[in-house]
Amino acid sequence: AEVVIVENAAAAGALVADEIVRLIRADPSVVLGLATGSTPLPVYEALRSRVADVDVSQVRGFALDEYVGIDPAHPESYRSVITREVVEPLGLDPARIRVPDGRTDGIEHAGADYEAAIDAAGGVALQLLGIGTDGHIGFNEPGSSFASITRVKTLTEQTREDNARFFPSIDDVPMHCITQGLGTILRAKHLVLLAFGDGKAEAVAGAVEGPVTASLPGSAIQLHPHATVVVDEAAASHLR
Ligand code: F6R
């Protein structure tokens, strides 16, 4: 992967937002791969001012993951988060932005439906990625197959603890999720993995330089011909 070390998260946001605007200008119905969590927020923030004079009405998007068994209207469902942090502030068409369907009713075909929708859209042009402290991307925890597609997974205790900050208590964090697989993610044309802070340094080093291993799902990016890693000094501190 190409590693770009930037001064801070805002600089990373500006860099990636510039690239996304370039893609939208080249193809107004470009398919973006969206991520939730704290990491991509500077990108969405930087996009706000940049899309003011860009036609984004045709932009399509696919989120990485969703909790299972959470009402889509729940404020912490990833559907709600994507609506609040991306769709509304950027003025995207909500009908063109998809999030995996985590409702239990129909969950057995939700993964296949999502894969089919991505394929029908012609694939993702640019996939935003964060990385977990244990090296997960999407909700693909250590041990996930590099060939995996969108499917239901059990959240690890660590990830439920990490995400408990968004819920009244850890007991309210769902037990399961539906996530794009590593195989799904690897089919995007360009991967952009962002990471900030020293808490991510070990995972970043493993993803970029460590052995390619299912024990560190982020290392799957080494199999991709066009992966860019944008990090601040702290997140880059374990790179050799
Ligand atoms: C988000 C996602 C996760 C996060 C990761 C890092 O859609 O799939 O892999 O990117 O857990 O989370 P933050 O950015 O909150 O540190």
Cβ-contact 13, 35 below 8 angstroms:
no
Task: Judge whether 134 counts as a catalytic residue.
Answer: yes
Instruction: Report, as an integer, the average pLDDT of 121-145.
Output: 97
ipTM above 0.95, yes or no: yes
Query: Does some domain include residue 44?
Result: yes
**Among residues 65, 66, 101, 232, which one is catalytic?**
65
Query: Does some domain include residue 182?
Result: yes
Query: Does some domain include residue 178?
Result: yes
pLDDT of residue 138: 97
Q: What is the pLDDT of residues 68-77, one digit of tens each?
A: 999 999 999 9
State how far the alpha carbon of 115 is from the alpha carbons of 68, 123, 150, in Å.
17, 9, 6
Show Cβ contacts of residue 232 under 8 Å, excluding neighbours closer than 6 positions. Answer: 5, 6, 7, 8, 9, 12, 195, 196, 197
Give 171 Cα–ligand 1 centroid separation in angstroms.
20
Number of domains in the chain: 1
pLDDT of residue 154: 95
Query: Does some domain include residue 236?
Result: no
pTM of the model as a whole: 0.97
Task: For residue 78, give the ligand 1 atom closest to its CA.
Answer: 7
Instruction: Report, as an integer, the average pLDDT of 124-138.
Output: 97
d(CA 233, CA 7): 7
Q: Which two tokens stand for residue 77?
A: 């469902």
pLDDT > 90 fraction of the chain, expressed in percent and rounded: 98
Give 110 Cα–ligand 1 centroid separation in angstroms.
21
Q: What is the pLDDT of residues 72-111, one digit of tens each?
A: 999 999 999 999 999 999 999 999 999 999 999 999 999 9
Query: Does some domain include residue 129?
Result: yes
pLDDT of residue 209: 97
Task: Please tell me the residue having the least CA distance from ligand 1 atom 10.
Answer: 130
Q: What is the pLDDT of residues 142-178, one digit of tens each?
A: 999 999 999 999 999 988 998 999 999 999 999 999 9
**Cβ of residue 138 lying under 6 Å from some atom of ligand 1:** yes
pLDDT > 70 fraction of the chain, expressed in percent and rounded: 100
Task: Judge whether 141 counts as a catalytic residue.
Answer: yes
d(CA 183, CA 200): 23
**Cβ of residue 37 lying under 6 Å from some atom of ligand 1:** yes
Instruction: Report, as an integer, the average pLDDT of 180-184.
Output: 98
pLDDT of residue 164: 95
Instruction: Report, as an integer, the average pLDDT of 52-58.
Output: 96
Burial class (CB in 10 A: 0-12, 13-18, 19+), 2: exposed
pLDDT of residue 89: 98
Domain residues for the domain of 29 are: 2-225
d(CA 2, CA 34): 20
Query: Does some domain include residue 98?
Result: yes
pLDDT of residue 197: 98
Strand-strand pairing, 227-232 and 2-6: parallel
Element (H, E) at 6: strand 2-6
CATH classification at residue 196: 3.40.50.1360
Query: Does some domain include residue 190?
Result: yes
Task: Please tell me the residue having the least CA distance from ligand 1 atom 4.
Answer: 130
Q: Name the pLDDT band for 21 (thresholds 50, 70, 90).
A: very high
Task: Judge whether 233 counts as a catalytic residue.
Answer: no
Instruction: Report, as an integer, the average pLDDT of 177-200.
Output: 98
Q: Name the pLDDT band for 64 (thresholds 50, 70, 90).
A: very high
